[in-house]
C-alpha cells in the first residue's frame, strides 16, 4: 500500500460536486464550514482519544457506519437505543463505538447546538478510523439528517456471513453499489475481528463432518486453537491474520491463500466474478492494477450517500441514542 496517511485529493465528481445519494437528499464537502467550523476536528479528536486507549474502536466505528447505511440509509438509526430498535438486533449485538459517537455529539452540542447530525458524526468517525489505522484519508461529504425510525426487524436486510456472492451482489446493487464496490468495501475487514460464533461452523462440521474445504489446511489448526469446539463463542479473532491493526491489502492476500476467516469473505476469491478485483488490488500480472486505498475512499463516499434523509422524515438529534 502507499505511504501512511495519504491525503486523497480526488478530482472526481463524487467529491468536487454535491453528492446525490441513493435516496432523497444531497451532501457536500464542507457542509458545516460556516455553521460549525470545528465539527470535523471535534469528531477527529474524540475518535483519536478513544483509539489511543482502545485501538479496537476503529474497526468498530467503520463497521457501525456500514450497518447504519445498509438499513434504510445513512441516517444514524443504528445509534438509537430502546426496545425493538436496530441496535437490539442480533446482527448489531457485537457493534462497538456507541460511546465514541455519544462523546463526540456531546462536544458538538456544546460548541454548536442542534447543528451536526449523528449520521454525519458516524460518517466522519468511520473515515477517521481508517486514517488512524494507517489507511488513506479522504474528504467526507456531509449534510445528512437523522432518521426518526429504527426497527429491529429491519436489520435483517444486512448482508450475512454465509451469503453467496450472488446474494451479496444483489444486496449491494439495491443501493447502487456494483461488484467492485462490494469487494472494496468488504476489504474494510483488513482491520478488526470477528467472534468465533460467526465462523466456527466452518472448522469442524461444514461438510460431512469435516471443515470448509476452502480453508487452507495449514491455517485450520490456528483457527481451531483460537476457537476450540465448546469454547468461548465470543472470543474474537483477527479478520486479517498478521495485519489486523493496519489498513492495507494483506486481507486480500489472505483470501488468495485460503486464509479468510469469514465464509462470505473467502468467497470473494473462490467466485470468479469477484476474484478479478481481488487480483487487481494485489497487482497481479495480467490484470489492471487498482489502488485499494483510492478505490476504498470512492466506494465509501458512494455508500455514505445511501438514502440521505431530508424534510419531515428526519431531524438533527440532540442525543444520538434517542429520537427528539
* pLDDT of the residue at 312: 81
In degrees and rounded to multiples of 5, residue 233 shows phi and psi of -65, -20
Q: Is pLDDT of 9 > 70?
A: no
Q: Are residues 109 and 181 in the same domain?
A: no
Q: For the chain, how long is the longest CA-to-CA vector?
A: 63
Q: Using the predicted structure, report yes or no on whether residue 280 has a pLDDT greater than 50.
A: yes
Q: Are strands 146-147 and 193-195 parallel, antiparallel or unpaired?
A: unpaired
What residue ranges in the chain does DSSP mark as E strands? 19-20, 26-27, 146-147, 193-195, 236-238, 314-315
Catalytic-residue membership of 67? yes
What is the rounded average pLDDT for all residues in the chain? 92
> Over the stretch 157-192, which tens digit does the pLDDT of each residue have?
899 999 999 999 999 999 999 999 999 999 999 999
Q: Is residue 286 part of a domain?
A: yes
Q: How many CA atoms lie within 13 A of 262 on its CB side?
A: 25
Is residue 231 situated within a structural domain? yes
CATH number for the domain that contains residue 113: 1.10.520.10
Give the pLDDT confidence score for residue 316 in this predicted structure: 97
Q: Classify residue 29: in a domain, yes or no.
A: no
What residues form the annotated binding site for substrate? Answer: 159
Place of cell 470512492: 298
Binding site for heme b, residues?
Answer: 189
Could you tell me the residue range of the domain that residue 243 belongs to? 165-302
Q: How far apart (Å, rounded) are the C-alpha atoms in residues 214 and 216?
A: 6
Do 236 and 256 belong to one domain? yes
Query: pLDDT tens, 108-153?
Result: 999 999 999 999 999 999 999 999 999 999 999 999 999 999 999 9
- Which is the catalytic residue, given 67, 107, 145, 302? 67
Amino acid at each position: 500500500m502507499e505511504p501512511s496517511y495519504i491525503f486523497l485529493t480526488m478530482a472526481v465528481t463524487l467529491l468536487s460536486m454535491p453528492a446525490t445519494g441513493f435516496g432523497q437528499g444531497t451532501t457536500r464537502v464542507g457542509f458545516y464550514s460556516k455553521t460549525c467550523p470545528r465539527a470535523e476536528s471535534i469528531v477527529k479528536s474524540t475518535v483519536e482519544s478513544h483509539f489511543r486507549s482502545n485501538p479496537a474502536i476503529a474497526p468498530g466505528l467503520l463497521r457501525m457506519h456500514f450497518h447504519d447505511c445498509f438499513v434504510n440509509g445513512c441516517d444514524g438509526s443504528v445509534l438509537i437505543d430502546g426496545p425493538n430498535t436496530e441496535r437490539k438486533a442480533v446482527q448489531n449485538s457485537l457493534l462497538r463505538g456507541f460511546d465514541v459517537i455519544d462523546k463526540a455529539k456531546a462536544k458538538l452540542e456544546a460548541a454548536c447546538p442542534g447543528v451536526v447530525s449523528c449520521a454525519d458524526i458516524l460518517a466522519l468517525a468511520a473515515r477517521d478510523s481508517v486514517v488512524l489505522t494507517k489507511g488513506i484519508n479522504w474528504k467526507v461529504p456531509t449534510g445528512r439528517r437523522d432518521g426518526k425510525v429504527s426497527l429491529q426487524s429491519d436489520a435483517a436486510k444486512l448482508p450475512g456471513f454465509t451469503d453467496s456472492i450472488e446474494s451479496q451482489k444483489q444486496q449491494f446493487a439495491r443501493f447502487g453499489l456494483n461488484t467492485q464496490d462490494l469487494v472494496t468495501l468488504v476489504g474494510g475487514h483488513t482491520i478488526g475481528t470477528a467472534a468465533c460464533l460467526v465462523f466456527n461452523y466452518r472448522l469442524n462440521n461444514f461438510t460431512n463432518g469435516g471443515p470448509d474445504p476452502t480453508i487452507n489446511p495449514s491455517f485450520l489448526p490456528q483457527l481451531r486453537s483460537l476457537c476450540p469446539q465448546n469454547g468461548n463463542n465470543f472470543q474474537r479473532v483477527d479478520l486479517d491474520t498478521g495485519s489486523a491493526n493496519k489498513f492495507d491489502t494483506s486481507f486480500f492476500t489472505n483470501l488468495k491463500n485460503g486464509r479468510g476467516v469469514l465464509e462470505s469473505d473467502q468467497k470473494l476469491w473462490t467466485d470468479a466474478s469477484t476474484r478479478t478485483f481481488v487480483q487487481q488490488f494485489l497487482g497481479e500480472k495480467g490484470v489492471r492494477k487498482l489502488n485499494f486505498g483510492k478505490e476504498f475512499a470512492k466506494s465509501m463516499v458512494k455508500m455514505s450517500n445511501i438514502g440521505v434523509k431530508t424534510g419531515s422524515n428526519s431531524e438533527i438529534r440532540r442525543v444520538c441514542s434517542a429520537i427528539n
